[in-house]
Amino acid sequence: MSTNTTTMDFFAKNDKISNIWLILTLLISLFGVYGVFNVLINGHDVYGVTRTVPWGILISTYVFFVVSSTGLCLISSMGHVFGIEKYEVIGKRAVILAILTLLCGFGVIAMELGHPFRMAIYNIISPNFESAIWWMGTLYGVYLVFIIIEFYFLMKHNHKGAFYAGLGGFIAGISAHSNLGAVFGLLEARPFWHGPYLPIYFILSALISGTALIIIIFNISYGRPSNLPEKAKNALTGLSKLFGLFLGIIIFFDIWKIITSVYGAPPEKYESVMALLTGQLSFNFWFFEVMLGMLIPFFIILFTKGRNLTASLIAAISAVIGIFYMRYDLVIAGQLFPMREPAPGAHVQSALQNGMVTYSPSFSEISIVIGALGFCVFLYLLAEKYLNLSE
Amino acid sequence: MSENSRALKLAEDNQKLANKRKKAKEKWGIVLDTSKCIDCKACTVACKMENYVPVGFYNYRIWVAEDTHYAKYPVISRSFQPSQCQQCENPPCVHVCPTHASYKTADGVVMVDSKKCILCKYCMTACPYDARYESHTTEAIDKCTFCYQRREEGKDPACVETCPPKVRVFGDLNDPNSEVSRLLAYNEYTVLKPEKGTKPKLKYIK
């Protein structure tokens, strides 16, 4: 199976990627330096997180990155792991972006953690096997190793190697990602999150992020949909249909999540869902999550049957923007119902008149998020420009 | 010594003490009779002083919340609910901590080893009582320790000691002759959020 290749195969210049974009994305990522310096100098006080909402936009952005990474890995494994030939073409691009999104995710969470270096040490010498965060972090570490090896083999055209590394990445990715769902799902204290729903939902939404991102990056590599080679067109048409299917499933999931949280007003779940439907997160929810994230892309795919790749591209971009807000809403909504009634003397931080608490990201948090997103795009464009990612 | 280094030293000393008391047989708990509470907040002040809790409105280990279920005039009543970490027997914060920084001592007190804490704040989202906060002095999550430093001398925690109407009684729940056990035997009591299955060791007399 494997092969005689030279290092030349590793690199190839893609002139479709203009330097202007590289410089622009690098400038955007520099914006993040502000937040990073601010937090290093002034400590975590510069973040908007509170005693009642300890997890903010950095956590949700981390989730966004790793959901994307897992999705890219899962979707790409259809080709070189499960042998669906049509999808083999997506392998290299999907896996390199999976690596980059994961690394950017790690970067964001390192800014959120108070002691990232301590984590590296105590994760190993004092592990708590009962902790979902321990499993999630460790499995993502294993996953990163697998996908890096997988990428190396793909570049070397070593199909057997890519199969085994890809299989390892697939298993580690599913485990890690469902554990990320479990980080939230295991919290009895937070009824909106608690239960088996989130680990399952996370895998499903990873598939959506994965398909959407692949559709986007292929268009970036070739400039526009009409430039796509035949093989890539075939793969993307298939992916567009899958994309529509996954969107349909997630709409179904969301409908039932909402109904079960509203019906009979179950305590705490109800208040959290109402924060999404009519409360402080309602614009995020209806405009970004429902419209951009689900309905618009779903109907675009439904009416074009996935055959129009320009339409699919628009659907994919819309979905990715929506998904970013989906993560944010999920992380924040779960914490908006305070653990103690905000009575006088209870000192419930950032409590509102309606008995809920509130959170808004600080400028530093936002700058880190924008910086990380910009940097991720920059790294991808760099890889696209200088690595041989075509078959 | 600065406030910071005193807080750090206290945290470290408490870790050592917890190690030393690995074979302790007690199970500490507090029984509260909230009908006696006059909302003087002496407990909250004593706690801050005793444990070098950093200055700041939202840096606290203990609180006195007003019961907001007022009756309507002219039938009026007012009551308070002093509380803190429930020192759960089944503590969610300990389960979720990735590095064992949060742990339960042999005598059932939930503590944080500040050196192991990575500040992921998972324990804060897991705690159903909002009993934890991020401390600038120990650069870790901080919470009520039942004034663990006082266990050696057998003194009551600061909040218990200072309370003028004696709302709180501290003692060994394993000892059937202790005052806490007697109070629980003679009175009906409840715990906060029993449905969460945390089995709190703060018991509220009804």
pLDDT per residue over A20-55, tens digit each? 999 999 999 999 999 999 999 998 899 999 999 999
Position of tokens 């419930």? A348
Residues paired with B64 in a beta bridge: B82
Model confidence pLDDT, tens digit, residues A317-333: 999 999 999 999 999 99
**Residues A343, B117: C-beta atoms closer than 8 Å:** no
- Domains by residue range for chain A, with CATH: 16-386 (1.20.1630.10)
Residues with Cβ within 8 Å of B86's Cβ and at least 6 positions away in sequence, in order, are B129, B131, B191, B192, B198, B200, B201, B202
Rounded Cα gap, residues A323 and A213, in angstroms = 11
Q: Quick one: pLDDT band at residue A6, thresholds 50, 70, 90?
A: low
Q: Quick one: pLDDT band at residue A16, thresholds 50, 70, 90?
A: confident
| Among chain B residues, CA nearest to A111 | B120
**Which pLDDT belongs to residue A389?**
87
Kindly state the percentage of chain A with pLDDT values over 90. 88
Name which of A284, A288, A287, A262 is nearest A273 in CA terms.
Answer: A262
Q: Quick one: pLDDT band at residue A7, thresholds 50, 70, 90?
A: low
Q: Is the pLDDT of residue A8 over 60?
A: no
- Could you tell me the pTM of the whole model? 0.94
- CA of B55 vs chain A CAs: smallest distance (Å): 14
- Contacts B126 to A, Cβ<8 Å: 187-189
- Contacts A123 to B, Cβ<8 Å: 98-99
Residue B193 is part of which domain span? 3-205
**Residues A114, B136: C-beta atoms closer than 8 Å:** no
Q: Is the pLDDT of residue A270 over 90?
A: yes
3-class DSSP string for A191-230: CCCCCCHHHHHHHHHHHHHHHHHHHHHHHHHHCCHHHCCH
**Which pLDDT belongs to residue A146?**
96
State whether residue A267 sits within 8 Å of chain B by CB: no
Model confidence pLDDT, tens digit, residues A83-130: 898 999 999 999 999 999 999 999 999 999 999 999 999 999 999 999
Strands B28-32 and B202-205: parallel
State whether residue B189 sits within 8 Å of chain A by CB: no
Rounded Cα gap, residues B186 and B18, in angstroms = 32
Encoded tokens for B162: 């200072």
Rounded Cα gap, residues B67 and A379, in angstroms = 55
Q: Quick one: pLDDT band at residue A300, thresholds 50, 70, 90?
A: very high
Model confidence pLDDT, tens digit, residues A359-385: 999 999 999 999 999 999 999 999 999
- CA of A282 vs chain B CAs: smallest distance (Å): 23
**Residues B99, A347: C-beta atoms closer than 8 Å:** no
**Residues A345, B100: C-beta atoms closer than 8 Å:** no
CATH at B16: 3.30.70.20
Q: Is the pLDDT of residue A14 over 90?
A: no
State whether residue B63 sits within 8 Å of chain A by CB: yes
Name which of A332, A351, A356, A363 is nearest B57 in CA terms.
Answer: A351
Exposure of B104 by Cβ count < 10 A (0-12 exposed, 13-18 middle, 19+ buried)?
Answer: middle
State whether residue B60 sits within 8 Å of chain A by CB: yes
- Contacts A128 to B, Cβ<8 Å: 97-100
**Residues A187, B92: C-beta atoms closer than 8 Å:** yes
Task: Give backbone dihedrals phi and psi of B99, rounded to 5 degrees, phi first.
Answer: -115, 15
**Which pLDDT belongs to residue A262?**
96
State whether residue B186 sits within 8 Å of chain A by CB: no
Model confidence pLDDT, tens digit, residues B154-172: 999 999 999 999 999 999 9
Report the number of distinct structural domains present in chain B. 1
**Segment B108-129 mean pLDDT:** 96
- Contacts A122 to B, Cβ<8 Å: 98-101, 116, 118
Model confidence pLDDT, tens digit, residues A137-160: 999 999 999 999 999 999 998 989
Residues with Cβ within 8 Å of A338's Cβ and at least 6 positions away in sequence, in order, are A52, A348, A351, A355, A356, A357, B130
How many residue contacts between A and B have a Cβ separation below 8 Å? 129
State whether residue B197 sits within 8 Å of chain A by CB: yes
- CA of A154 vs chain B CAs: smallest distance (Å): 34
Q: Is the pLDDT of residue A2 over 50?
A: no
Position of tokens 């420009």? A385
**Which pLDDT belongs to residue A18?**
86
**Which pLDDT belongs to residue B68?**
76
- Contacts B117 to A, Cβ<8 Å: 114-115, 118
3-state secondary structure (DSSP) of residue A23: helix
